[in-house]
Amino acid sequence: MTQTTEGQPHTDSGSLRERLERHHFDASGWSLACCNHDEDLAHDVLHEAYLRVLDGRARYRAKSSFKTWLFGVIRLVALETRRRDERRGLERGVENSADQAVVPPMDLASGSLEQVELVARLNEALAGLSCRQREVMHLVFYQSLTVAEAARVMEVGVGAARTHYHRAKTRLRKVLSQESIR
């Protein structure tokens, strides 16, 4: 059964491959975020997520957009990989999920001193957020998902995602406005 609309299930592996290719750039960014920007681990996680999609272990059931569902698969694979590595005593540069940074590091080399200072303040403020707050901010601002879609990826209720989103924005606003007063 193959249908062409974005919201419908696809079982044809060719169409799945096309959809994965269409979302690859965003999926790569999300995988990096889920793996604390460890490129090797992110590559492994993304590869495993794609395998699960293509071999049918992860099945799209059209309860959300394909991109939202795919991000959920990637997040789950990253969590499972981290837990498996912790059980085996492996350390791959990924800290526990409470300390996980999900906001991409910003390039400081190409900006003016003022931009560099602003980026450093922003990164410091983001580091002060909880893991869930950083996740929702990343999904909404870097991946262009709605708060409801972010909630599906994060496997939390929409109300909880909205709370994390609101608290993160409030905290960032407060921290950054205090910094500008100094």
Res 2 pLDDT > 50: no
Query: Model confidence at 159, in pLDDT bands (50, 70, 90)?
Result: very high
Q: Could you report the per-residue pLDDT of 27-65, keeping only the tens digit for each?
A: 999 998 888 888 999 999 999 999 999 999 999 988 889
All domains of the chain in start order, with CATH: 1-100 (1.10.1740), 101-182 (1.10.10.10)
pLDDT number for residue 98: 41
pLDDT number for residue 30: 92
Locate all alpha helices (DSSP H) within the chain, ordered by sequence: 13-22, 24-34, 39-55, 66-87, 113-127, 131-137, 147-154, 158-181
Coil/strand/helix, residue 38: coil
| Residue 75, number of CB atoms within 10 A of its CB | 22
Distance separating alpha carbons of residues 32 and 103, to the nearest angstrom: 9
pLDDT number for residue 90: 64
Q: Could you report the per-residue pLDDT of 108-141, keeping only the tens digit for each?
A: 555 677 777 777 777 788 888 888 998 999 899 8
CA distances from 52 to 60, 134, 161 (A): 11, 26, 26
Res 154 pLDDT > 90: yes
pLDDT number for residue 82: 85
Q: Could you report the per-residue pLDDT of 81-92, keeping only the tens digit for each?
A: 988 888 887 655
Res 93 pLDDT > 80: no
Extended strands (E) in the chain: none
Res 150 pLDDT > 60: yes
pLDDT number for residue 52: 95
